[in-house]
Structure formats: structure tokens, C-alpha cells
Chains A and B, each alone.
Chain A
Amino acid sequence: MLDQDLRNQFPIINQEVNGHPLVYLDSAATSQKPQQVIDAISHYYTYDNSNVHRGVHTLGNRATEGYEGAREKVRRFLNAKSTEEIIFTRGTTTALNLVAQSYGFANVEAGDEIVITYMEHHSNIIPWQQLAKAKGATLKYIDLEEDGTISLDKVRETVTNQTKIVSVMHVSNVLGTINPIQEITKIAHENGAVMVVDGAQAAPHLKVDVEALDCDFYAFSGHKMGAPTGIGVLYGKKAHLNKMEPVEFGGEMIDFVGLQESTWKELPWKFEGGTPIIAGAIGLGAAIDFLEKIGLDNVEKHEHELAAYALERMKEIEGITIYGPDNAEARAGVITFNLEEVHPHDLATVLDMNGIAVRAGHHCAQPLMKWLKVSATARASFYVYNTKEDIDRLVDGLRIAKEYFTDVI
């Protein structure tokens, strides 16, 4: 387990909610922020704030150095070859939309296929739905195994030489499943398709190496890994990005502007129209420093341990259904479940009254909810600041909810 002291670096955690010490188990929705990140953003606005890439003055240089310095941190974090391959976006959703609108519209034609899976988040479904509808292409779904994993045989059955794009989430925000991205990428490439990865739930929790994965695009959000909201990243192989057209036009992304024609800046700036998310990028850089100091391997190990402990403890409760793989090693720190006789919204309210924050609903994955044959579920998700005591509190809370509803009914 990680050092308890780590928890104290997240100021928000040390508070009472509804008369109880807060137990925050909703990090898959958004993570809390370490003091180091809050300080970096505060420092930027207090001392360095200026626009980037244009000022001759000192503050302009500091802001540019901070912003581009963060890009280099992201490059290293993902093990990408060059900062030209790192595009700052508003988040995973914007990054995936950029791929669909730029690469997708230029490369997908009527009769082509786009392949995703049943476990995808809406942000990795709808951009492809829209693209398929506009182009007359087919959107195909890879079926899941009973335990919520993806079998490579099913991938091979679904991906054909008509497939132009395969897009799969690295880690499921509902099932916690860690998907075999490297192997799926290989199958996509064998069929001449590009591989897009939704890394929103992976980048915060495990070491991502885009070179080893060999994927063509990788998207993630800062706010799930200790950084502020409104900053995310699209990694793309330079060969693709060079050929792609921007989807947003205006200031910051242009080279030469004429009355009827304009030319674009080089990579990565041609995809970053408008004044960029400077403080957000600096915050993301600080979050990467924070995570790398702990070590992503240690973060992953910590979450496996918490998941294993939670699976074991939660199973003690009668009438509980836990979705996703039973093996803690095959999953990240996300546990989605239902308690018999207690609707997840009611459960979340009772837990909240006990200071415990969990998510209830469809988790932006309606096709997966349909596959699981449920309309809603409850979800507890962990991060570096969570402890086994938090899980004990959750288990106590579940018992209280169960008793409460048995009594009032």
C-alpha cells in the first residue's frame, strides 16, 4: 500500500460531510487534486499569467515555457517520440471527436466499417455513430465475454479488411477491465485499420507506453489524474497528424492568413485553435510530476490491492452483485455493483448521509447497461488517496443501507 502521508497532500479529503469524515470513492468520475497541482495553477496566475507563443515580454516567455514544458512532460509520460505528437484538448471527449472529425471524415467511406465494443463510454460511441451516419459506414460492436472482458477471437471475428477504424477503451469505467490494447492494435493493423484508444481510465492508473502499444491515437483527460478539468491530450502518430486537417480554425493555429486562403502552423499547434488551456496544461504537468514521483507502477499496485480487498469485503454482503472480472489483477480500481432491494440512487443517498461519495446511474455507458441487463448501478472507484479503511467504511455503509431499507419497507 502507498504511504498514508500521501492522503494528506489532498486537502479536500480532510473534511467532514454530513457529520462524517469524507470517504471519496468517485475518482473514476473525477479525481481530487494534490496541493502541488493547486499550487502550480495558483503560482501561474499569481506570477506568470500571459498569452503564449506571441509575447516578446518576459511573462509571455514564462507562460510559453510553462505550457510547452507541460507538453514535454506529457510526451515523456506517454513515451511518445516527439512533442509534435502531443495535442492539448479540452479532454478525452474533444480528443476522440477530433480524430473522428478529422481523420475519420477524410478516411472513412460508404461501406467501410468502424469497430468499437459494448463496454465503451458514450464519448467513444457517439463520435463514431455520427461519422458512420454521415458517411454511410457501418458501426460494429465487439461482443463481451460473460465476465466483462474482451476475447481476441471476437476481435478477429469482428475486424475485417473493410474496417478503417478500431476504437477501444484501455480500462473500463464500469467493469474496471484492463483491455489487451497491444494485441487488439495488432489485429487492427493486420486488417489495415488504425487503432484509437480511449485512455481516460487508464492514464491516471497505470503506465501507458504508446510506442509499446503501437496505437495510432491515444486520448485521455487531466481531471481524472489530479489535474484540473478542461485539459486533456490527444496523442497521434506524426504520420497521421501531418496529413490531418484541423477541425477548429482561428487564432493560434495559423501560419499565413490571406484574404481567401490561409495556411496552418506545424504540429502540434495546427490543432490548437484559440488561446490554449495554459493553466490547465501547467496543472497537468504538475499532476504528472506528482504521479511519476509515486511511480505509476506503485499507483497500479495500490489499486490492485484495494480492488482485491474491496472484492473480498463486499462479497460478505448478502444480495450484492458485482459486475466485471472477479480477478483483481485483471481490473483497475473500479467496482460496479448492485444491492438487492436497494436502487442505486437510494443507496448513494444513504451512503452520502454517511459521508461516503459513490456514483449511481448508467455511468455514461448505456449500451453496456443494456448488455448487463440493468438500468443503473452503483460504482465505487479508488485512487492514490484511498485506503483499506475507506473500503471498510463503504462496507459498513452498505450494511446500514441494507438494514435501513429492510426496516422502512
Chain B
Amino acid sequence: MSSRNLDQLYRSVIMDHYKTPRNKGVLEESSVTVDMNNPTCGDVIHLTMQIEDGIVKDAKFEGEGCSISMASASMMTQMLKGRTAEQAHQLAEIISNMMLGNEYDTSIDLGDIEALSGVAKFPARIKCATLAWKAMEKGIDGESEA
């Protein structure tokens, strides 16, 4: 079988986040709560973030979904802490470009998120990887409007 392609999708760092998700749970004192689902496949995410003075102080998620969607959420919450709303949007844009196979900003240390680049070869799975990021952007935009 084409296990080399599969290995690009299911990198060990992704499986590690899937099996041992970071920041799983609900923030008691959250300023932002977002529920989002992927209606075509049934994946769901419940994201809570604590945003103070335009900075994401903390983020936690709960949800149900495949390895890609849950690992992506786990990696995202890890990356968000201490970042400004603008930086969070930048990260989301990098993910979006990564998924579309476009060039993306490499000046930022992407850490574990880099592992998601293999998803671009699996068009049917792009929405799995971007679910958490869309939820985050919705939450941050809602916060700035409020």
C-alpha cells in the first residue's frame, strides 16, 4: 500500500497530539466560547479562550473527531498562549496557505504545527485540519467586536 503517503499525513507528532491531547477541557473563566462543527462529517469542537488586553492568556478545547482535527486543535491551543489576536490570525493564515499548498510565512517558528503540512495532499481532510482554527478566528473576531 502507499504507506509513504500515509506516513506524511499521520506523522508521529500528529498521532501523539491525538492520543495525548494538550489543553483538553473547558476553561472555567473564559472570555470567549466557540462551538463549531463540520456539518459534512460530524466533527465538533468546543473552544474556550481567555483573552485579556488583546492577548490570548489561555485556551482549551473539547471535541469529537478524527486524528487530524483533534491533533490540530491540540497543537493550536499550545501555540496560541501568549499571542496577540493579530498573531493568532497570522497563524491561521499560515495554516490556510499550508493546506492549499501555497507558500507560507516561515519566519515564525511553527513548532508541531509544521507536521500538518502533509494534509495538503489529502483534499478531503483539509477541513478536518482547519476546524479548530476557524473556531479560534471566529472567537477572536467576536471578542474584538464586543
Contacts known (A353-B6, A354-B1, A408-B12); A344 close to B66, Cβ less than 8 A: yes
Q: List 5 A-B contacts (CB under 8 A).
A: A18-B2, A343-B67, A349-B9, A360-B41, A375-B42
Determine if A409 and B6 form an interchain contact, defined as CB atoms under 8 angstroms apart: no
Query: Which of B2, B5, B40 has the most C-beta atoms of chain A within 10 angstroms of its own C-beta?
Result: B2
Residue A400 at the B interface, CB < 8 A?
yes
Q: A19-B2, A349-B122, A353-B6 are in contact. Are A366 and B66 (CB under 8 A)?
A: no
Q: Which B residues touch A404, using CB under 8 A?
A: 3, 6, 10
The yes or no answer to B64 lying at the interface (CB within 8 A) is yes
Complex alpha-carbon distance, A409 and B128, angstroms: 19
Interface, chain A (partner B; CB < 8 A): 18-20, 343-346, 349-350, 353-354, 360-362, 366, 369, 375-376, 400, 404, 408-409
Q: Is the interface of B mostly helix, strand, loop or mixed?
A: helix
Show the binding face of B for A, using Cβ within 8 Å.
1-3, 5-7, 9-10, 12, 15, 18-19, 40-44, 64-69, 122, 124-125, 128
Contact with A349, one of B6, B15, B42, B65 (Cβ below 8 angstroms): B6
Q: Which residues of B contact A369 (CB under 8 A)?
A: 42
Contact A375 B67 (CB under 8 A): no
Query: A408 touches which one: B10, B68, B125 (CB < 8 A)?
Result: B10
Tell me whether A408 and B15 are in contact (CB under 8 A).
Answer: yes
* A-B pairs, 3 with minimum CB distance: A345-B66, A343-B66, A362-B42
How far is it, in angstroms, between the C-alpha of A343 and the C-alpha of B70 when the chains are bound? 11
In the assembled complex, the Cα of A408 lies from the Cα of B10 at a distance in Å of 8
CA distance A343 to B125 in the complex (A): 13
Best-buried of A19, A345, A360, A362 by chain B (most CB within 10 Å): A345
Asked if B41 contacts A361 (CB within 8 A), the reply is: yes
Knowing A346-B66, A346-B67 touch, does A353 contact B124 (C-beta < 8 A)? no
Shortest Cβ distance from A53 into chain B, in angstroms?
39
Pair B65/A343 contact, Cβ less than 8 Å: yes
Contacting residues, chain A, for B41 (C-beta < 8 A): 345, 360-362, 376
In the complex, which of the residues A343, A346, A375, A409 contacts B44, with contact meaning CB atoms closer than 8 Å? A375
Contact A375:B65 (CB < 8 A) given known A345-B128, A400-B1:
yes
Give the Cβ gap from A23 to chain B, nearest Cβ, in Å: 13
In the complex, how many angstroms separate the beta carbon of B4 from the nearest chain A beta carbon?
10
Q: How many Å lie between the Cα of A118 and that of B6 in the bound state?
A: 37
Given contacts A345-B128, A375-B44, contact A353 B65 (CB under 8 A): no
Q: Is A375 a contact of B1 with CB atoms below 8 Å?
A: no
Per the bound structure, the CA–CA distance linking A354 and B69 in Å amounts to 22
What residues of B have a CB within 8 angstroms of the CB of A361 in the complex? Answer: 40-42
Cα(A344)–Cα(B66), bound, Å: 7
Check A345–B68 contact: CB distance below 8 A. Answer: yes
Extra pairs beyond A345-B125, A349-B125 (19, CB < 8 Å): A20-B1, A349-B6, A349-B9, A353-B2, A353-B3, A354-B2, A361-B41, A361-B42, A362-B41, A375-B42, A375-B43, A375-B44, A375-B64, A375-B65, A376-B41, A376-B42, A404-B6, A409-B15, A409-B18
